[in-house]
Amino acid sequence: MHYPNGKKNNGFHQPSATNRSMGFSNRGMTLEEDINATNKFYRDTNKAVIHKKPTPVQVVNVHYPKRSAAVITEGYFKQPSTTDYNGVYRSRHIDFEAKETKNKTRFPLANIHAHQINHMKSILNHGGICFLIIRFSVYNETYYIPAETFFPFWDGQFNDGKKSIPYETIQNKGYKIPFHLQARVDYLAMIDQLYF
């Protein structure tokens, strides 16, 4: 895929099904799949309404190997995406970004983009609840990081040059989300703890 400026997205990508860790906590699932299952459980139990935001893509080339199966061979993002998920919980707007990394020692800040940070700051300014969910797939650990906690690390990269957050810092500053059978990534439990 290409961003609107025509550049390829060479940043973060999800691991393929053959590369994924098959540990207990995610049982081979990606973070996105776990969050989508969690959000479905929230909706089914009428706890919250949270959805993944679709990213608008302009299709440029399509290959038709047979009449019933079209394959998109080239496409461009129409506009930069904001965050991955949003919705409503306990009358508050919820907005968050989810990232998964195979890195054992740090979370690279290159996984996040400036327009996403601007969006998150805007959500906070309007009274919404905004955060990141970061999974270290090699450890099968998932963390809830409030946006307010994340911003100093983002801003710091432009001052002292640190381009990542150490794993130990995320352990200390974030909130580990335990795996549950139905709400696999029960981030609402963290929101209850911090806001309600």
User: Which DSSP string do the residues of 76-123 spell out, in sequence order?
Assistant: EESS----SEEEEETTEEEEEEEEEE--SSEEEGGGS-HHHHHHHHHH
pLDDT of residue 61: 77
146 to 5, 31, 35, 150, 170: CA distances (angstroms):
30, 18, 17, 6, 11
pLDDT greater than 70 at residue 4: no
Nearest-angstrom CA–CA distance, 168 and 15: 23
- Residues 159-168 have a mean pLDDT of 90
pLDDT greater than 50 at residue 129: yes
Cα angle 89-177-40, degrees, rounded to a multiple of 5: 45
| Domain residue limits, the chain | 31-53+81-195
Mean pLDDT of the chain: 84
pLDDT greater than 70 at residue 160: yes
* CB contact burial 96-130 (16+ within 10 A = b; e otherwise): bbbbbbeeeebbebebbbeebbebbeebbeeebbb
pLDDT greater than 70 at residue 146: yes
- Residues 8-14 have a mean pLDDT of 45
Q: Which three-class secondary structure state does DSSP give residue 131?
A: strand
pLDDT of residue 66: 77
Q: Which three-class secondary structure state does DSSP give residue 151?
A: helix
pLDDT of residue 65: 78
- Residues 73-98 have a mean pLDDT of 84
> 131: closest CA among 67, 11, 35, 54?
35
Nearest-angstrom CA–CA distance, 175 and 144: 5
pLDDT of residue 69: 78
pLDDT of residue 23: 38
Is 82 marked as a binding-site residue? yes
Q: Which residue has the higher pLDDT, 9 or 174?
A: 174
- Residues 99-114 have a mean pLDDT of 94
- Residues 149-171 have a mean pLDDT of 92
pLDDT greater than 80 at residue 74: no
CATH numeric code, 31-53+81-195: 3.40.1350.10
pLDDT of residue 14: 41
Is 97 marked as a binding-site residue? yes
pLDDT of residue 185: 96
pLDDT of residue 18: 37
pLDDT of residue 76: 66
Q: Which residue type does 148 have? A: E
